């Protein structure tokens, strides 16, 4: 049990912590230690050690990184909510809101499991981890947690070793790198390498070890030459020659398809200048370049152009003393600290203030680097902004299969559905988030697992546009609505136009074959009849206009003299009409509404054909020039016959016509024409043109007809009867 020998103790942690934390803080660490020891009591790790070792080791790492007191306490408590009966409320009561918030964050992100088999998913997982770490400290504690788990991975079964190593290599090591914490990245990579490619790992260790003496002697020689030359120019610097870490050698061999013997630069050299001056770095560079010939295209200036994680250094490769390539990094002590510790180096509090190691300068530079214009009250706010700058406003969502998808903040299940497939979006009726049904307007949260419920035949609604935020979803919904609206408009247009054509006894499909119809399509630059129907449906073209083009107005609207050919027009007095202020005007009764004495009527002064009398409610009147309308009154002296059209719908049976005719004749009413039409089924449509004396007689007739058992409905028809049937009239 080797681990027991090197077992960390609380006193080790307190010793290190007292270097930068107050007495009060040390007491808090002790309190957290006792709390953790109490709730984890009886639990043990797979190694057989008491569980408490784990939070202690994690906390020890955080103290080494000189993180603030809240991070330290969080390290001690990080598994209590996840693995014991402890609640967040208890943590908050004992250690305050800040610690409770951090522990809760850790509990949340510990549930993110990198399960996807897809390579390209790793970046989304990293982003998700970062987005879910509302505070960078959550991620720092999580990295320390993972580091200790990797260091003790040997106790896990093999399948778990592989899974955890893969997750570490693809998610955690790159995150450490992104945060600039090089030592973590290197160690996490090498540990993962060991478990993922065990044979290669031990083979490489063997090979590196075999050449160790030779390489050490070589490294000493190169270091000595560099040091002497720097001294000649009065540059004070530490020169390091360190073996590259195994995983980077392994990567190099794979990427360049070379074997171990061909990897000549196993050792990387580093010049760390003591003076915190940028110019010293460039001076050192020129010393090196004067000494050995630089390899073209290998110089990189990360001082002028720092990496996104604020890594700053000069990199160059030169041809060394034996004609071999030598990689050299040049940086100041301050840059070196950042390069190794990254964000952790700057997450240091001392009684609420950033540590005095020039951190303020770094923060200032970082602000500029990430172009953060706004002022930051404290380091935490700054870190938050830093995170926002590194990772835009996105939420990361799991598919049911465990893949991660990124969405803009505020995205809803509708956006998710359309990201899968247009059909999934269109037929989406609901969504389950973490197995619970949510409304479609639910705003997706980081780490949610979303499952879309679809129903074939279901359609998007206009409301969805209020909830969708991705351009894909919005355009797909709009496209659907447009198509649907067009279908509706075509149906409406067809209906309107058919009715309008019916008035002139034309069928739409007949009209559509006419040249005039084709002319209209061409004029409007329309490809199909449907396009025209859609425009009519939208109300952009009137159906009347189309009809008038195909059947010019005079053929449609012209009043046809009422009483057949023999009685064309009458003088007003004879016609039984008096016109206010005018005598003896030619009068005719409008064919379109066939007024009866008793109807409210109105006169229209025609051009050269006297006054035509319409029922006041006749739709035709609405379209007439109001200037030419005159008041007219019935003035019936002697009995006259007025034509009226009536439609009786009856149950079809034998002798129907004679039954109806009897009723009509018994009232002394003349039948000018009759037509019976039996359209499939039981109902017969009977149209009559009758001569009645007035509205009273007409109403009497209607009552009499109603009494017949077979009669269903009776309708006084305005306007002429269907012309096609006119010839069939008696």
- Catalytic residue status for 83: yes
Site string for Mn ion, 140-169 (x = CB under 5 A): -----x------------------------
Structure tokens at 162: 């592989």
Which part of the chain contacts Mn ion (CB under 5 A), choosing from 72-80, 223-231, 401-409, 598-606? 72-80
Smallest separation (angstroms) from Mn ion to the CB of 79: 4
Smallest separation (angstroms) from Mn ion to the CB of 161: 17
Q: Toward Mn ion, which CB reaches closer, 45 or 300? A: 45
Which part of the chain contacts Mn ion (CB under 5 A), choosing from 73-81, 384-392, 471-479, 563-571? 73-81
Can you point out the beta strands (E) in 525-669? Answer: 570-571, 577-579, 586-589, 601-605, 611-615, 629-634, 642-651
Q: Toward Mn ion, which CB reaches closer, 80 or 645? A: 80
Could you tell me whether strands 611-615 and 683-692 are parallel, antiparallel, or unpaired per DSSP bridges? unpaired
Q: Using CB under 5 A, which of 57, 68, 79, 341 touches Mn ion?
A: 79
**SS3 state of residue 295:** coil
By 3-state DSSP, what share of the chain in percent is helix, strand and coil, each rounded to 5? Answer: 50, 20, 30
* Closest alpha carbon to 454 in 414, 506, 489: 414
The number of beta carbons lying within 10 Å of the beta carbon of residue 704 is 16
Q: Toward Mn ion, which CB reaches closer, 79 or 135? A: 79
| Active-site residue identified among 64, 83, 123, 301 | 83
Smallest separation (angstroms) from Mn ion to the CB of 218: 42
**Size of interface with Mn ion, in residues (CB under 5 A):** 2
Token pair 């080790």 is at which residue? 12
Structure tokens at 228: 């002497």
The number of beta carbons lying within 10 Å of the beta carbon of residue 336 is 20
Smallest separation (angstroms) from Mn ion to the CB of 43: 12
Read off the DSSP letter of residue 169.
Answer: I
Which part of the chain contacts Mn ion (CB under 5 A), choosing from 71-79, 204-212, 263-271, 424-432? 71-79
Task: Tell which positions 185-224 bind Mn ion, by CB under 5 A.
Answer: none
Residue nearest to Mn ion (CB): 145
Q: Toward Mn ion, which CB reaches closer, 154 or 361? A: 154
Smallest separation (angstroms) from Mn ion to the CB of 141: 9
Q: Toward Mn ion, which CB reaches closer, 81 or 204? A: 81
Q: Toward Mn ion, which CB reaches closer, 145 or 334? A: 145
Collect all residues with Cβ–Cβ distance below 8 Å to 694 and sequence separation of at least 6.
Answer: 596, 597, 598, 636, 642
| Active-site residue identified among 82, 228, 381, 487 | 82
Cα 44 from Cα 49, distance rounded (Å): 6
Smallest separation (angstroms) from Mn ion to the CB of 145: 4
Q: Where would I find the H helices in 270-318?
A: 278-291
Q: What's the longest Cα–Cα distance across the chain?
A: 139
Smallest separation (angstroms) from Mn ion to the CB of 123: 24
Read off the DSSP letter of residue 638.
Answer: S
* Closest alpha carbon to 249 in 304, 208, 301, 198: 208
Structure tokens at 416: 């998710």
Q: Does 448 bind Mn ion (CB under 5 A)?
A: no
Backbone φ and ψ for 679, nearest 5 degrees, come out as -100, 125
Smallest separation (angstroms) from Mn ion to the CB of 133: 15
Q: Toward Mn ion, which CB reaches closer, 61 or 273? A: 61
Which part of the chain contacts Mn ion (CB under 5 A), choosing from 76-84, 426-434, 661-669, 704-712? 76-84
* Element housing 353 (H / E): strand 353-354
Q: What is the 3-state secondary structure (H, E, C) of 455-480?
A: CCCCCCCCCHHHHCCCHHHHHHHHHH
Site string for Mn ion, 10-49 (x = CB under 5 A): ----------------------------------------
Task: Tell which positions 479-498 bind Mn ion, by CB under 5 A.
Answer: none
Backbone φ and ψ for 644, nearest 5 degrees, come out as -145, 145
Q: Toward Mn ion, which CB reaches closer, 152 or 422? A: 152
Task: Tell which positions 89-148 bind Mn ion, by CB under 5 A.
Answer: 145
What is the radius of gyration, based on Cα positions, of the chain?
Answer: 47
Q: Toward Mn ion, which CB reaches closer, 145 or 599? A: 145
* Element housing 328 (H / E): strand 325-332
- Catalytic residue status for 82: yes
Smallest separation (angstroms) from Mn ion to the CB of 408: 32
Positions annotated as catalytic residues are 82-83
Q: Which residues bind Mn ion (CB under 5 A)?
A: 79, 145
């Amino acid at each position: 049990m080797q681990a027991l020998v090197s077992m960390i103790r609380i006193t080790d942690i307190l010793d290190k912590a007292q270097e930068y934390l107050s007495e009060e803080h040390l007491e808090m660490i002790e309190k957290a230690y006792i709390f953790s020891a109490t709730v984890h009591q009886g639990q043990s790790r797979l190694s057989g050690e008491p569980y408490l070792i784990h939070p202690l080791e994690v906390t020890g790492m955080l103290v080494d990184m000189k993180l603030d007191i809240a991070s330290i306490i969080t390290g001690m408590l990080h598994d209590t909510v996840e693995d014991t009966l402890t609640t967040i409320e208890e943590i908050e009561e004992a250690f305050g809101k800040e610690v409770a918030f951090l522990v809760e964050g850790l509990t949340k992100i510990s549930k993110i499991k990198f399960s996807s088999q897809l390579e390209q998913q790793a970046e989304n997982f990293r982003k998700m981890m970062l987005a879910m770490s509302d505070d960078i400290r959550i991620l720092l504690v999580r990295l320390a947690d993972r580091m200790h788990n990797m260091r003790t991975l040997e106790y896990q079964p093999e399948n778990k070793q592989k899974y955890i190593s893969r997750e570490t290599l693809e998610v955690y090591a790159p995150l450490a790198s992104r945060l600039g914490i090089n030592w973590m990245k290197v160690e996490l990579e090498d540990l993962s390498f060991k478990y993922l490619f065990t044979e290669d790992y031990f083979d490489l260790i063997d090979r590196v070890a075999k050449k160790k003496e030779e390489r050490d002697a070589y490294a000493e020689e190169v270091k000595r030459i560099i040091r002497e030359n720097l001294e000649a120019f009065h540059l004070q610097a530490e020169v390091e020659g360190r073996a590259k870490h195994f995983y980077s050698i392994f990567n190099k061999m794979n990427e360049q398809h070379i074997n171990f013997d061909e990897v000549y630069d196993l050792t990387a050299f580093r010049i760390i200048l003591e003076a915190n001056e940028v110019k010293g770095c460039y001076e050192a560079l020129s010393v090196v370049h004067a000494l050995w010939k630089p390899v073209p295209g290998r110089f990189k200036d990360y001082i002028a152009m720092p990496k996104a994680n604020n890594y700053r250094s000069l990199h160059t490769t030169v041809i060394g003393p034996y004609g071999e390539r030598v990689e050299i990094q040049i940086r100041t002590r301050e840059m070196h600290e950042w390069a190794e510790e990254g964000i952790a180096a700057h997450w240091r509090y001392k009684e609420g203030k950033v540590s005095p190691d020039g951190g303020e300068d770094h923060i200032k530079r970082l602000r500029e680097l990430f172009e953060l214009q706004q002022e930051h009250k404290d380091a935490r706010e700054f870190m938050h902004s830093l995170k926002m700058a590194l990772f835009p406003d996105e939420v990361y969502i799991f598919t049911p299969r465990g893949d991660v998808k990124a969405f803009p903040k505020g995205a809803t299940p509708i956006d998710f559905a359309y990201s899968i497939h247009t059909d999934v979006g269109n037929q989406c009726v609901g969504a389950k988030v973490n197995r619970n049904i949510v409304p479609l307007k639910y705003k997706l949260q980081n780490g949610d697992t979303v499952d879309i419920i679809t129903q074939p035949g279901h359609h998007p609604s206009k409301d969805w546009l209020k909830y969708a935020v991705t351009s894909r979803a919005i355009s797909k919904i709009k496209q659907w609505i447009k198509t649907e609206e067009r279908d509706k408009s075509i149906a409406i247009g067809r209906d309107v136009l058919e009715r309008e054509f019916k008035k002139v006894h034309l069928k739409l499909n007949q009209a559509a074959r006419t040249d005039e119809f084709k002319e209209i399509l061409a004029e409007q630059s329309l490809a199909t009849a449907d396009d025209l129907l859609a425009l009519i449906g939208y109300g952009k073209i009137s159906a009347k206009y189309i009809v008038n083009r195909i059947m010019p107005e005079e053929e449609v609207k012209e009043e046809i003299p009422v009483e057949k050919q023999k009685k064309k027009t009458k003088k007003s007095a004879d016609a039984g009409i008096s016109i206010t202020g005018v005598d003896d005007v030619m009068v005719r009764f409008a064919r379109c509404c066939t007024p009866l004495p008793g109807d409210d009527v109105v006169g229209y002064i025609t051009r050269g054909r006297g006054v035509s009398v319409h029922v006041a409610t006749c739709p035709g009147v609405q379209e007439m020039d109001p200037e030419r309308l005159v008041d007219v009154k019935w003035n019936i002296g002697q009995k006259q016959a007025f034509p009226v059209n009536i439609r009786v719908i009856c149950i079809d049976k034998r002798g129907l016509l004679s039954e109806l005719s009897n009723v009509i004749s018994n009232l002394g009413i003349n039948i000018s024409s009759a037509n019976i039409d039996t359209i499939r089924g039981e109902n017969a449509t009977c149209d009559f043109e009758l001569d009645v004396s007035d509205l009273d007689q007409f109403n009497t007739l209607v009552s009499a007809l109603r009494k017949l058992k077979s009669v269903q409905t009776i309708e006084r028809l305005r306007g002429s009867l269907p012309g096609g049937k006119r010839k069939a009239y008696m």
